[in-house]
Amino acid sequence: MQKKETTFIILILGVLGCPTVGAGQINTYSINDTVTEASGPFTLNVDGDASNDYTFEIFPLSGSSTAARVVSLWDSYVMDASTFGYPDGLNCGDAVTGPYTSGNAVLGTDVGGGGSFTGAGLKFLGLKMDAGGESYRGWVSLEVAASNDTIILHDVGYSTVPYNAIAAGQMSDETDPPLCDFIYTVGTQFEIEVAAPTTGNGLPSMAPVFIITSTGDLVLAEDSCFAGPCTHLVSNAMGADTITTCIGYVVYGAEMCIMDTPTCCVTQAWNEESQTWQIAETASSIEVEPAHDVVLYPVPTSNQLNIQGQFDDLRIFDVFGRLVMTSGQATVVDVSGLAAGDYFIEIASSKGRWTEKIQVVR
């Protein structure tokens, strides 16, 4: 395996942060590629040597069914500790420890609902590559659509030291502590990627509502977190020296006012010398936004949901973040077609955007 110039990583351990398993030399870089049946396979040479290591592809099955697969090439393997042939969907900080499998492995499939990556948001695939009689470990961060017809490849990391322990998401250069222990920011001064995983790292199960990044009073980017992972790419074309990112989310099962949304914010400053963003001030405590003047009733409901108050748009998502209904400005919504269970109502108005949790009963 080709060795490269790199730096030592020091992961700062928070109560809920991504733990480090090993502190050896690690290289990381972005892939940022989307694989579909139309695009054809994507082959990845992890370490840049003479041999390709993995191929990601959408494989057609009978009818219109598809499978999202990874094919290990040559002496490469993927972590498969649970079900043979279905690699483990790791969370940030999980150890890449094996056991491993080679050949074709299913990330997600329409047949039998197999695969731990299907519709799960941002996950990590553990890697092992053998070269020169030695083994090297790594990871790839990716997403597989709930329909199993799309793979989004984000980043890859691998240890340049044989047999060195590595954790999913462990990176090569010194990183800022996770924002509120679960948000991370990477990039340059003018292009910043912000993301918040929804599980792992010791976090309670939660549903991100929105993510907003600003500089002073100027909003650089604002996005809904539903219907996908809570991430966005921020353009800082004006070259601001400080940025603040906030995440709003609902914690599943938390005993709070249903109209309240916990938020977490962090401010980072640009370090000209190191050309990196560094934490300037972190509001690590949870702040609760004031209640909004929109009321939903009855809750629970079985057939009809009434909305009282001023709002511009209303959408309904299931607990997996999938959009199940859009009602615009309708003040009465027919939910009789929804299965029994919990749902999140995203409401947008001139006062902002927030969510409320409802239950549909049968």
Tell me which long-range contacts 241-244 makes (C-beta under 8 A, separation of at least 24).
241/269, 241/270, 242/215, 242/267, 242/268, 242/269, 242/270, 242/280, 243/192, 243/213, 243/214, 243/215, 243/267, 243/268, 243/277, 244/213, 244/214, 244/215, 244/268
* pLDDT bucket at 24, cuts 50 / 70 / 90: very low
* pLDDT bucket at 198, cuts 50 / 70 / 90: low
pLDDT the model gives residue 206 = 56
Cis upstream peptide for 300 (omega within 30°): yes
Number of H helices, E strands in the chain: 0, 25
Residue 8 CA, distance from chain mean position: 25
pLDDT the model gives residue 261 = 62
pLDDT the model gives residue 94 = 80
pLDDT tens string 328-338: 888 899 999 99
pLDDT the model gives residue 228 = 52
Cis upstream peptide for 99 (omega within 30°): yes
The angle at the Cα of 184, spanning 183 to 187, to the nearest 5 degrees, equals 150
* pLDDT bucket at 229, cuts 50 / 70 / 90: low
pLDDT the model gives residue 58 = 96
User: Is residue 86 over pLDDT 80?
Assistant: yes
Distance from C-alpha of 311 to C-alpha of 302, rounded to nearest angstrom: 23
Q: In terms of Cα–Cα distance, which of 42, 48, 97, 32 is closest to 69?
A: 42
**Which has the minimum average pLDDT: 34-38, 173-177, 313-317?**
173-177
Give the chain's mean pLDDT. 76
Question: Which domains are present in the chain?
Answer: 26-159 (no CATH), 184-288 (2.60.40), 295-360 (2.60.40.3080)
More reliable by pLDDT, 85 or 173: 85
The one-letter amino acid at 3 = K
Distance from C-alpha of 341 to C-alpha of 319, rounded to nearest angstrom: 9
pLDDT the model gives residue 129 = 96
Identify the helix (H) or strand (E) that includes residue 354.
Answer: strand 352-360
Distance from C-alpha of 284 to C-alpha of 265, rounded to nearest angstrom: 7
What are the residues whose beta carbons fall under 8 Å from the beta carbon of 187, sequence distance 6 or more? 193, 234, 277
Q: Is the dihedral of CA 314, 316, 321, 323 positive or negative?
A: negative
User: Is residue 22 over pLDDT 50?
Assistant: no
Q: Is 28 helix (H, G, I), strand (E, B) or coil?
A: strand
More reliable by pLDDT, 111 or 144: 144
Q: What average pLDDT does the segment 42-46 reach?
A: 95
* Under 8 Å between Cβ of 16 and 202: yes
User: For the chain, how are helix, strand and coil distributed in percent, rounded to 5?
Assistant: 0, 50, 50
pLDDT the model gives residue 173 = 36
User: Is residue 287 over pLDDT 80?
Assistant: no
Q: What is the DSSP string of 216-264?
A: TTEEEEEEE-TTS-EEEEEE-TT--SEEEEEEEEEETT--S-TT--EEE
